[in-house]
């Protein structure tokens, strides 16, 4: 049996590893568009902050490690079309030579590309890396930005976007000595959090010298005398800022053309539709990763590209492509980010998401220490709980607190509870660890859910 996986990132490599793990007799070929299979794109900001060095350290596994598992890598090779009926994949190598690969089963993990949100003046016919306008989604993007930083020695930077990568890069460039301005379209940075928690991240950025400008729509980027001019609208008025370097990190769009040209359908977010077993509906063709829709445990079908999700989907696709019966259990959108000395995390739903999914949500924020206050170094955590008024079901959690306050561990506790359909009140039954330097008899996780329960009871009594 010959399994072909397209894509050398999370989904494609996970597909190949799972297939070889379950059946070492399966012949697996992985088609990779560049020279960097299994590199951690999520780690790129820490390369720029110089916390990770050299760049080769970003490889989850080396080329040799991957081939030692029995897979064959076809690097610098672009998949151009799929002949579904003939079970043939057309590819083009670095020299432009086209050929075909026959497959028994095909898994497509072509991922996503960085969005430029319709900003004028950038792209193939506009400004690019040599001019100081960059995106950051691949190792190629990484090397281009590094060359510009080393060669031009910019002093100022504008980051368009204040999501996870934008925030991490604001820290990285600040650490490197650049004066950073961060532009965000929404009312607050990190729009995956409610604004009251996003404001805490905003304050942390400001404390470290980042000029954060919210409520700003960027319309265009131009060049004048070696300086980059960013224009847009803020509060109904024209907006202009200049810098030596512009980094655009405003999200991604799914790469779907390979599959849609072969007859696959698209759905949420323009991503390719798959079922819970990663079937595309095309015979012998599966898909996983950032190019496909996401099965969310609370929202249903959506589009939520995440590395953790891609790994799981690739594992499911690899197992099923060789005859298994695995199913993707679904995402909860669990995310965490470090911004200087602060950590922010979320899982599950916020109010507006819960309403759209048919729930009747109530959200409330509690402040709790990360460990017993009498032990030195206790730090306050802000935890916002969302639950369903009608049945008390836990729907989501958002956390912001100091680095070292176990934010990631605590959001994972909520993620496990959400996965198993727990109520907010039943969180108090969890047997969580305790010692004064690290926690409290009622952990901050439980202090927040107990606060939510009291608020629900108060509102219920008020309505009675």
Domain ranges of the chain: 2-42+58-112+252-321, 129-248, 342-463
Dist CA 214 CA 208 (whole Å): 17
Helix axes 307-321, 10-22, angle to 10 degrees: 40
Alpha helices in 347-430 (DSSP H): 351-356, 407-419
| Mean pLDDT along residues 434-443 | 96
Helix axes 164-175, 195-207, angle to 10 degrees: 10
pLDDT at 464 over 80: no
pLDDT at 385: 98
Q: Identify the CATH class of 2-42+58-112+252-321.
A: alpha beta
pLDDT band at residue 91 using 50, 70 and 90 as cut-offs = very high
CA 233 to chain centre: 27
Q: What is the pLDDT of residue 225?
A: 85
pLDDT at 462 over 90: no
462: exposed, middle or buried (C-beta count within 10 Å: 0-12, 13-18, 19+)? exposed
Give the pLDDT mean for 140-153.
96
Per-residue confidence band for 341, with pLDDT thresholds at 50, 70 and 90 = very high
- pTM of the model as a whole: 0.94
pLDDT value for 444: 98
* pLDDT bucket at 42, cuts 50 / 70 / 90: very high
Place of tokens 């690019």: 128
The second-level CATH assignment, the architecture, of 342-463 is 2-Layer Sandwich (3.30)
pLDDT given at position 31: 98
Residue that the structure tokens 């989904």 belong to? 11
Q: How much is the pLDDT for 185?
A: 95
Q: Is the pLDDT of residue 463 over 80?
A: no
Q: Has residue 419 got a pLDDT over 80?
A: yes
What is the average pLDDT value for the chain, to the nearest integer? 96
Question: What mean pLDDT is predicted for residues 182-210?
Answer: 97
Residue whose structure tokens are 């190629």: 140
Dist. CA 138–CA 140, nearest whole Å: 5
Check pLDDT > 90 for residue 361: yes
pLDDT band at 212 (very low <50, low <70, confident <90, very high): very high
Give the fold, CATH level 3, of 129-248. Answer: FAD/NAD(P)-binding domain (3.50.50)
The pLDDT confidence band at residue 45, using thresholds 50, 70 and 90, is very high
Task: Provide the pLDDT for residue 125.
Answer: 86
Q: Do domains 2-42+58-112+252-321 and 129-248 have the same CATH topology?
A: yes
Give me the helices (H) in 180-255, please. Answer: 195-207
Residue 163: per-residue pLDDT: 96
| 3-class state of residue 145 by DSSP | helix
Provide Rg for the chain, Cα atoms: 24
CA angle centred on 195, ends 344 and 238, rounded to 5°:
120
**Per-residue pLDDT, 124:** 85
Predicted confidence band of residue 154 (pLDDT cuts 50, 70, 90): very high
For residues 304 and 347, the answer to whether their CB atoms sit within 8 Å is no
Q: Over 90: is that where the pLDDT of 420 sits? A: yes
DSSP 8-state symbol, 142: H
What average pLDDT does the segment 165-180 reach? 98
> How confident is the model at residue 287, as a pLDDT?
98
Contact by Cβ (8 Å): 206, 105:
no
């Amino acid at each position: 049996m010959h399994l072909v996986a397209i894509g050398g990132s999370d989904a494609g490599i996970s597909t190949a590893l799972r297939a070889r793990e379950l059946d070492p007799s399966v012949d697996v070929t992985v088609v990779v568009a560049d020279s960097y299979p299994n590199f951690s794109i999520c780690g790129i900001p820490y390369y720029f902050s110089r916390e990770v060095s050299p760049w080769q350290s970003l490889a989850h596994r080396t080329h040799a490690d991957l081939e030692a598992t029995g897979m064959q890598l076809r690097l610098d090779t672009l998949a151009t079309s799929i002949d579904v009926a003939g079970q043939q994949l057309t590819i083009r190598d670095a020299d432009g030579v086209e050929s075909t690969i026959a497959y028994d089963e095909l898994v497509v993990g072509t991922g996503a590309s960085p969005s430029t949100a319709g900003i004028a003046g950038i792209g193939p016919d506009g400004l690019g890396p040599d001019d100081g306008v960059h995106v950051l989604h691949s190792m190629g993007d990484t090397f281009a930005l590094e060359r510009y930083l080393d060669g031009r020695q910019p002093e100022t930077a504008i980051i368009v976007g204040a999501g996870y990568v934008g925030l991490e890069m604001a820290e990285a460039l600040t650490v490197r000595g650049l004066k950073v301005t961060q532009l965000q379209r929404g009312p607050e940075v990190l729009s995956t959090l409610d604004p009251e928690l996003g404001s805490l991240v905003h304050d942390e950025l400001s404390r470290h010298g980042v000029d954060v400008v919210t409520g700003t729509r960027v319309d265009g980027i131009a060049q004048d005398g070696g300086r980059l001019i960013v224009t847009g609208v803020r509060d109904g008025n024209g907006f202009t800022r200049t810098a030596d370097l512009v980094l655009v990190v405003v999200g991604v769009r799914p790469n779907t053309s390979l599959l849609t040209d072969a007859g696959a359908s698209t759905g949420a977010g323009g991503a390719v539709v798959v079922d819970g077993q990663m079937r595309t509906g095309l015979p012998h063709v599966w898909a996983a990763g950032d190019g496909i829709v996401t099965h969310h445990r609370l929202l249903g079908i959506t589009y939520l590209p995440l590395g953790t999700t891609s790994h799981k989907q690739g594992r499911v696709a690899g197992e099923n492509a060789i005859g298994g019966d695995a199913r993707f259990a679904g995402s909860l959108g669990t995310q965490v980010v470090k911004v200087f000395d602060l950590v922010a995390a979320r899982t599950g739903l916020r109010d507006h998401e819960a309403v759209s999914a048919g729930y009747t949500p109530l959200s409330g924020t509690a402040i709790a220490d990360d460990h017993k206050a009498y032990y030195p170094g206790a730090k306050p955590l802000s935890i916002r709980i969302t639950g369903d008024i009608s049945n008390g079901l836990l729907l989501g959690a958002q956390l912001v607190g100091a680095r070292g306050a176990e934010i990631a561990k605590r959001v994972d506790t909520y993620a496990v509870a959400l996965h198993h359909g727990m109520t907010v009140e039943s969180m108090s039954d969890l047997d969580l660890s305790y010692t004064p330097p690290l926690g409290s008899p009622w952990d901050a996780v439980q202090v927040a859910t107990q606060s939510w329960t009291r608020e629900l009871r108060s509102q219920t009594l008020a309505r009675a």
